[in-house]
Amino acid sequence: MERQPERPTQLITKKFAKELHTNFMKYRASIIAKYIKKEDANAVWFSVEELENYIHYIKSKGEKTGYNVNGIRIYFGVYPEEKKYAEKAGLMTVFLTATGKKIKTPKTGEIQTFALLSDENSDISSIEPMNYGSIGRPPALDY
């Protein structure tokens, strides 16, 4: 029998999601649109397959480079105003970066009975961030 997934503790209501998005559009996107003179992105979409593949990739690469990958940090960014970015030039985006702890290696002659982890919980610079989801545009998304 397949185990049912646990309900995440970070879930929010659709009403609160809509409020967060409305606040973003009201306070951030409208100000940005004033300066870049075009409608900015209001969402970024990644497929489940892309996300699962990235998670598998960062766990695997982390293990190979001595990290215990424990999360993904999401950063906000803006594409450069260059022709190669076409319609995305000057628009907001998000990119994902693996986070984790460096596995400490035991000193010579030391017996290791379990993996020792550093206290750090930071971005892992040896693993490439992920970008290039599909951008969304106003007026609004349906929650």
Q: What is the pLDDT of residues 130-141, one digit of tens each?
A: 888 877 655 555
With a cut of 80, say whether residue 9 has pLDDT above it.
yes
DSSP class of residue 6 equals: P
**Strand, helix or coil for residue 62:** helix
Residue 4 has φ and ψ, to the nearest 5°, of -75, 140
* Residue 105 confidence (pLDDT): 66
C-alpha pair distances (Å), 140 with each of 21, 54, 135: 8, 28, 13
Contact assessment for residue 73 and residue 97, using Cβ atoms and an 8 Å cutoff: yes
Residue type, 18: K
54: closest CA among 129, 108, 121, 115?
Answer: 129
Q: Give the model confidence (pLDDT) of 49-104 as tens digits.
A: 999 999 999 999 999 999 999 999 999 888 888 888 887 788 888 899 999 998 86
With a cut of 50, say whether residue 113 has pLDDT above it.
no
Confidence of residue 120 (pLDDT cuts 50, 70, 90): low
Confidence of residue 143 (pLDDT cuts 50, 70, 90): low
Residue type, 12: I
* Residue 5 confidence (pLDDT): 79
